[in-house]
Structure 1
């Protein structure tokens, strides 16, 4: 793994310096862009940034940087992704390094500034990455019939007196961070719409930073309740990180799309096609990815416009604006 993580600061300086400073074609012209930042255009109306029409605005780096959403321990997932990275190196003919991001904000900023080329952004961060960082998602982990997704669950200690979301009034609820769909945006919208419970008025919110922190916190009774992505919790159960007998679910949502994988909008189109090929031809059987993501065995094609529609609706209900700093 050391060869993939490497000294990222040095790699970024050597291979992508100046990318963020260069003016984009979109900034120099009046174009259709919908909710996208002024740095991007969306002439075809698919809600993601177009590849620049000017070849000079496209990038074809000799080293590709890949990041996985910072949901759990980056060191663990660096090893999980190692085989996939080797496959991508073979498919693209380029060196690929794994960037262990510590927060969603850091991952979004890395792509916006040109330091990140390929990424998996979690459900809630996807719209922000699309609109503010030029992220173009095209794949999601799924099963043989093309099914994919996860549910948001509100969990409590197994012996808690809390039996339903209505019992959360006056309690402290652990969320992950404000940009997370299942870790904040969906549960806060559901608690308000279905149970007339509003943050600060009816309950106190605490932010744990990550789903695994929330799950462990409930198991250890550090939190009275927590809203989490159940796919994360199930993987923790499978690795014996927490004892499932210590946790009880009091609410389960409809199915949401999980982490979306894609590329920076300004990659050379031929390179983007090779990256897509790496995702869709990866041999899952016997891989570390299959061992970790047990219910998935392939990458399934998706589109942001269709598959993130429910997430955009949740954001709208929460008054979320995809404003870019």
Structure 2
């Protein structure tokens, strides 16, 4: 699987993406998204995600479900955070459930594609890759009690650096997380190119940290001059006292994007996929480690989403960056 990023030379205004109302523009992106899907999958209903195979012999009904959360600096912390939910998932499905501590976005994508991952949360920018190349079927995200959801991309630096505004990134260093990350790469790349005329590795030096945690700690420790990160991760690290507000300075905050999407591998049996969905929507957060952790970013429940609707803006950002998927 290869993800291609091509040169993009037309104006693209990141701040107005969430209010785009030109249906035709989104239709073009939807057609591109459908064309990008691997030939291993079929999308007969046009919802841009892989159908459950019509041939029952292709269905998978594992004794043990493998679950993975997005890559973080210390996966052991999140094994504990997710433990109660995974017990609930086991009760709902009658399966053993195992937490898989992935070390990188690439490792998580490959595990899904190879059939070693059954239930997962993929980061915002990684969802289109998982959908097109791994047959991922996202159906839920975390939301606040009032149903609101999402996070912003922030560009941060350390106090006393020579970077006081986005313009100051010219000639300096900016850390990204990974090429598939929305807030960690694609959104800031589109912003810097369209609004400030800056190209990565031409107008500023780049580094890839592997995760938002690493980028944030890299800035705090002055390993990176600046970094583009998801502020949901930033807020959780503040709440755990991993960092302090005085450790960094934010010089840019974007519009709101959808957060991590949770879903299933496309070829699990229909009954099992329904049981997994019901487990997410019936989970009682009260008094759990999951609530304690994600309340730090304002999240308190799982709500239904569709890839076709809720990832419109993310597909548009990818399209603006010239991203295509060579999944086969």
CA contact (8 A) 2:37 2:327 kept: no
> Which of 292, 301, 305 matches 1:302?
305
Correspondence for 1:108? 109
1:156 match: 157
Return 5+ residue gaps in structure 1 as ranges.
Answer: 1-32
Q: Can you list the C-alpha shifts for 1:259-313, whole angstroms capped at 9, x where unaligned?
A: 1000001111111110001000111011101100011110011000111111111
**Contact between 1:34 and 1:42, CA under 8 Å: does it hold in 2?**
no
- Name 1:227's counterpart in structure 2: 228
Quote the residue 1:121 is aligned against.
Answer: 122
In the superposition, the TM-score normalised over structure 1's length comes to 0.88
Question: Do residues 138 (structure 1) and 139 (structure 2) align?
Answer: yes
Greater RCO between the two (CA within 8 Å, min separation 6)?
2
Contact 1:140 1:258 in 2 (8 A): yes
C-alpha displacement of 1:167: 1.1
- What CA deviation, in whole Å up to 9, does each residue of 1:200-235 have, x standing for no partner? 221011111111111111112221111000000111
Asked if the contact 1:127/1:322 (under 8 Å) is kept, the reply is no
* Residue among 310, 318, 324 paired with 1:321: 324
Question: Are positions 1:47 and 2:48 aligned together?
Answer: yes
Pairwise CA distance, 1:161: 3.3
Paired residues, number: 294
Instruction: Quote the Cα distance in structure 1 between the aligned partners of 2:58 and 2:218.
Output: 46
- Counterpart mapping for 1:138-217 below 5 A: 138-217=139-218
TM-score in terms of structure 2 length = 0.88
Deviation, 1:145, is 2.1
Deviations along 1:4-53, one digit per CA (max 9) or x if unpaired, are xxxxxxxxxxxxxxxxxxxxxxxxxxxxx632100000000000000011
Aligned residues of 1:218 and 1:224 also touching (Cα < 8 A): yes
Contact 1:139 1:261 in 2 (8 A): yes
Match of 1:288 in 2: 289
Cα distance in 1 between the residues matched to 2:50 and 2:40: 9
CA distance in 1, matches of 2:163, 2:35: 44
C-alpha separation between the residues in 1 aligned to 2:126 and 2:104? 10
Give yes or no for contact 1:219–1:243 (8 Å, CA) kept in 2. Answer: no
> Which secondary structure does the structure 2 equivalent of 1:185 belong to?
helix
How many Å separate the matches in 2 of 1:214 and 1:244?
15
Q: CA RMSD in A?
A: 1.2
**1:96 matched to which residue of 2?**
97
Question: 1:35 corresponds to which residue?
Answer: 36
